[in-house]
Amino acid sequence: MEDPAPAEILLVDRDPQLGRDIVAFLEARGHQVEWVDDGEKAYNRLDSRPFDAVITELSAPRIDGMRLMAVARDRNPEICVILLTEQPDIERATEAMRRGAWDFQLKPPNLEKMEAVIQRGVGRQRLVFEQVELKRRLDEQYGLGRLVGKSRQMIKVYNAVRQIAPTRATVLIQGDTGTGKDLIAQAIHNSSPRRDAAFVKLNCASIPEALVESELFGHVAGAFTGAVRARMGRFELADGGTLFLDEVGELTPALQAKLLRVLEHQQFERLGDSRTMSVDVRLIAATNRPLEQMVGDGLFRDDLYYRLRVVTVDVPALRHRREDIPLLVDQFIADACRNNGKQVEGITRNAVNVLMRYDWPGNVRELKNIIEGMVVMARGGGLLDVHDVPDHLRRSVQPDVGEIRIPSGVSMAEVERIVIEETMKTCGFNKEQCARTLGIGLRTLYRKIKEYDIR
Residues interacting with ligand ATP, by CB under 6 A? Answer: 146-149, 175, 177-183, 288, 328, 364-365, 368
d(CA 325, CA 108): 40
Task: Name the minimum Å distance from CB 247 to Mg ion.
Answer: 8
Q: Of 61 and 361, which has the nearer Cβ to ligand ATP? A: 361
Q: Of 44 and 340, which has the nearer Cβ to ligand ATP? A: 340
Q: 425-430 — which CB contacts under 8 Å span 24+ positions?
A: 425/350, 425/386, 426/350, 426/353, 426/399, 426/400, 426/401, 426/402, 427/399, 428/354, 428/386, 428/389, 428/393, 428/394, 428/395, 428/397, 428/399, 429/386, 429/387, 429/394, 430/394, 430/395
Pick from 34, 37, 89, 182: which binds Mg ion (CB under 5 A)? 182
Near Mg ion in 389-428, by CB under 5 A: none
Q: Of 181 and 270, which has the nearer Cβ to Mg ion? A: 181
Q: How far is CA 296 from CA 172, 293, 301, 305, in A?
A: 18, 5, 9, 11
Given a contact cutoff of 8 angstroms between Cβ atoms, the answer to whether 72 and 80 are in contact is no
Q: Of 13 and 250, which has the nearer Cβ to Mg ion? A: 250
Given a contact cutoff of 8 angstroms between Cβ atoms, the answer to whether 185 and 284 are in contact is yes
Given a contact cutoff of 8 angstroms between Cβ atoms, the answer to whether 427 and 437 are in contact is yes
Categorise residue 170: left if φ over 0, alpha if ψ from -120 to 50, beta otherwise.
beta
Q: Which residue's beta carbon is nearest to the bound Mg ion? A: 182
d(CA 289, CA 384): 36
Q: Of 272 and 362, which has the nearer Cβ to Mg ion? A: 362
Task: Name the minimum Å distance from CB 185 to Mg ion.
Answer: 8
Residue 198 binds which of Mg ion, ligand ATP, none (CB < 5-8 A, kind-dependent): none
Task: Determine, following the binding rule CB under 5 A, whether residue 335 of this chain makes contact with Mg ion.
Answer: no
Q: Which residue's beta carbon is nearest to the bound ligand ATP? A: 180
Residue 295 binds which of Mg ion, ligand ATP, none (CB < 5-8 A, kind-dependent): none
Start-to-end CA distance of the chain, whole Å, equals 44
Residue 180 binds which of ligand ATP, Mg ion, none (CB < 5-8 A, kind-dependent): ligand ATP
Task: Name the minimum Å distance from CB 104 to Mg ion.
Answer: 49
Over 12-63, what HEC string results?
Answer: ECCCHHHHHHHHHHHHHCCCEEEEECCHHHHHHHHHHCCCCEEEEECCCCCC
Single-letter amino acid, residue 339: N
Stretch near Mg ion under the rule CB under 5 A, chosen from 157-165, 179-187, 228-236, 322-330: 179-187
Nearest C-alpha neighbor of 96 from the set 130, 64, 137: 64
Q: How many residues bind Mg ion (CB under 5 A)?
A: 2
Task: Name the minimum Å distance from CB 315 to Mg ion.
Answer: 10
Residue 148 binds which of ligand ATP, Mg ion, none (CB < 5-8 A, kind-dependent): ligand ATP
Q: Of 183 and 279, which has the nearer Cβ to Mg ion? A: 183
Task: Name the minimum Å distance from CB 178 to ligand ATP.
Answer: 5
Q: Of 181 and 258, which has the nearer Cβ to Mg ion? A: 181
Task: Name the minimum Å distance from CB 194 to ligand ATP.
Answer: 19
> Which residues contact Mg ion by CB under 5 A?
181-182
